[in-house]
């Protein structure tokens, strides 16, 4: 599939819902999940914009069988404008290749910030969802990406280090940026019983030491179809739509589609970019 610019015709949409997909540690399948999630949301009739904000592993384009040549760095360097780097990686799925450009957004001049926000305003109402693929850990840039989004989706696995680091991420976001609501997805688990056990362990500790609300959003099973698809740089919801993992991702989409409680608390896409570049 060739990359095409995102300037095609579009219908006016309601306010874009922004969701960060994050984790306390790497290797939990975050980028694979966000890529399949974007495709599944698009299959429901949504227009989805993905911001690849993982500096070290910016590879959402690869998951869709592409290799982009221009990222946010080109926009910050004045070589092009934001709409110029957005590529349609699948029908109704669009990508902003971030790379290290995401980490330069806080250091823009006032003039650069105004120019970028003017360009962002052109994207308003074109998309139903904006999914942000963050790096793992508690780096400041990761924290800002998560706090600017309307919903923070924390991906955890049964691995003890994943749970410990997920709690650390939630704790820092709560203590440093006063974030109080988090959504939890258990990935690479045997079944929902294991997923709920993981969620309860994390929730019990959080309830004991933090003033936060954790919402169980669902689970993705440890499915051989998903592993094989990812190894082949394919998306399981496309290559194996009847696989257990594909079904679970579709169920996750349904839950996301029906959870709009944070929309009244935080704004949409414009709010997200204003927070990231530090003008709000």
Q: What is the pLDDT of residues 99-139, one digit of tens each?
A: 666 767 777 788 888 888 888 888 877 999 999 999 889 98
Contacts of 178 (CB under 8 A, 6+ apart): none
Calculate mean pLDDT across residues 2-25: 68
Contacts of 249 (CB under 8 A, 6+ apart): 33, 36, 37, 40, 220, 236, 237
Task: Check whether 4 has a pLDDT greater than 50.
Answer: no
At 269 the pLDDT is 87
User: For all residues of the chain together, what is the average pLDDT?
Assistant: 87
Band of the pLDDT at 7, cuts 50, 70, 90? Answer: very low
In CATH, 14-259 is 3.40.50.300:
yes
Q: Which pTM value belongs to this model?
A: 0.90
Contacts of 154 (CB under 8 A, 6+ apart): 22, 23, 24, 166, 169, 170, 182, 183, 184, 185
Alpha helical stretches, state H, 86-159: 110-121, 140-148
- Asked if 129 and 161 count as a contact pair (C-beta separation under 8 A), the reply is no
């Amino acid at each position: 599939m060739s990359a095409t610019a995102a300037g095609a015709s579009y219908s006016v949409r309601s306010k874009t819902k922004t969701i960060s997909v994050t984790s306390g540690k790497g290797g939990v399948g975050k980028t694979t999940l966000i890529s399949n999630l974007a495709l599944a949301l698009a299959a429901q009739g949504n227009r989805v914009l993905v911001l690849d904000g993982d500096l070290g592993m910016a590879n959402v384009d690869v998951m869709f069988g592409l290799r982009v040549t221009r990222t946010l760095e080109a926009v910050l360097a004045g070589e092009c404008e934001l709409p110029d780097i957005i590529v349609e990686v699948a029908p109704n799925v669009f990508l902003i290749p971030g790379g290290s450009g995401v980490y330069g957004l806080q250091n823009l001049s006032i003039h650069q910030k105004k120019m970028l926000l003017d360009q962002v305003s052109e994207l308003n109402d074109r998309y139903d969802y904006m999914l942000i693929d963050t790096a793992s850990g508690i780096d400041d840039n990761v924290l800002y990406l998560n706090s600017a989004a309307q919903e923070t989706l924390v991906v955890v696995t049964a691995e003890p280090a994943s749970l410990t680091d997920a709690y650390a991420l939630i704790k820092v976001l709560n203590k440093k940026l006063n974030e109080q609501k988090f959504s939890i997805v258990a990935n690479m688990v045997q079944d929902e019983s294991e997923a709920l056990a993981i969620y309860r362990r994390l929730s019990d500790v959080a309830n004991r030491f933090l003033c936060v609300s954790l919402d169980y959003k669902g689970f993705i099973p440890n499915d051989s179809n998903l592993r094989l698809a990812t190894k082949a740089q394919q998306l399981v919801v496309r290559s194996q739509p009847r696989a257990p993992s594909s079904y679970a991702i579709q169920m996750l989409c349904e839950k996301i589609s029906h959870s709009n409680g944070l929309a009244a608390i935080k704004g949409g896409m414009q709010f997200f970019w204003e927070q990231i570049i530090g003008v709000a």
